[in-house]
Structure 1
Amino acid sequence: MIDKPVYLTREGKEKLEEELKRRIEIERPAIAERIKQAKDLGDLSENSEYDAAKNEQAFNEGRIRELQYMLNHAQIIEESNGSKVVRIGSTVTVRYEDGEEATYTIVGSSEAKPSEGRISNESPMGKALLGRGLKAKIEYTVPTRDGKNHTEKLTIVKIK
């Protein structure tokens, strides 16, 4: 498997570092204590508290590994100052065919939150915007829930 970079803003990296620290220093010992207490109750074969704590432990350890991977492969997105083309870190204003305008920031997939205008560089729109300049007309395909694809058309009106 090829390790691919994880694009993060400085703020995003700090949040992941805080979560990793919390999971290792606070949640891991708390879960271990719950497991110990559940073991002290006796028969583990019918101990739902023990099962729940073990499941929580597995989830927490998986998330720790995921966070460590992301931080080890982090590539910090530098703010785009005066770039003439869209790149990761750019904030792009687009105009759709119906005249509606929207502004998006291109971020790595781990920080994407479309509802907050933060779209992934790996999303169909993100891929279509990357490397394109002001006034570029973009067309890309979006998968829909019913299994059919929908084509979006837009124009880049501002890059910062």
Structure 2
Amino acid sequence: MTYYQKMTPEGYRKIKMEIARLKKDRPRRIKILQAARALGDLSENTEYTEAKRELGHLQSRLRYLNKQLNYAEIIKKTTDGKVDLGKIVTLEIGQEKETETYQIVGRMEADVTKGKLAFDSPLGQAIMKKTVNTTVEVIAPAGNYQVTIKAID
């Protein structure tokens, strides 16, 4: 069974851009490693150890990002008036009626501090496929609360 990672076209582009940036930086990192190796005794060469570790991190990140692209399922915005990936929703949260606006995104793109909410988070799951003026209960580890969908763009 193949598991596909849902993401928006914007999220896919960001991953491609990061891969391009890392590939561009790789030759510089290799030169740093080669220069450190030329310094001699590798057992006590902290420059070599550090350069090798940094190149390893870069290579690991590239493998991870490429895997994300290989298993990406790009979701296009729908116009059915329901909460879905790529859409921006305005929510009224809790008894205080605090208003928050989020873009619904895939797990890899999620960053609540930047207004990007994962569709499979407790809040995301509660509002997916719902319409404006729908009130739902969010079941979250920190406790349950009510959310009303005020707008979907």
Instruction: Compute the TM-score of the two structures, normalised by the length of structure 1.
Output: 0.86
What letter matches 1:80 in structure 2?
T
Q: Does 1:91 align with 2:88?
A: yes
Aligned counterpart for 1:153 among listed residues 123, 143, 146: 146
Q: Find the aligned partners of 2:152 and 2:20 in 1 and give their Cα distance.
A: 36
The CA distance in 2 between the partners of 1:134 and 1:18, in whole Å, is: 35
**Partner AA of 2:36 in structure 1:** A
Q: What does residue 37 of structure 2 align with?
A: 39
What is the aligned-residue identity percentage?
34
**Greater Cα shift, 84-93 or 52-61:** 84-93
Q: Secondary structure at the match of 1:150?
A: coil
Number of residue equivalences:
152
**SS at 2:148's partner residue?**
strand
CA offset digits 1:92-131 (Å, max 9, x no partner):
1111221222211110111112112110112111111112
Gaps of 5+ in 1: 144-148
TM-fit CA distance, 1:151: 1.6
CA contact (8 A) 2:88 2:101 kept: yes
Q: TM-score under structure 2 normalisation?
A: 0.89
SS of 1:128's equivalent in the other structure is helix
Any unmatched runs of 5+ in structure 2? none
CA RMSD of aligned residues (A): 1.6
- 1:133 is aligned to 131
1:53 aligns with 2:62: no
Secondary structure of the equivalent of 1:119?
A: strand
Runs of 4+ in 1 over 6 A off after TM superposition: none
- Select the residue among 59, 63, 69 that pairs with 1:65: 63
Please state whether the residue corresponding to 1:139 is helix, strand or coil: strand
Q: How far apart are the structure 1 equivalents of 2:97 and 2:20?
A: 46
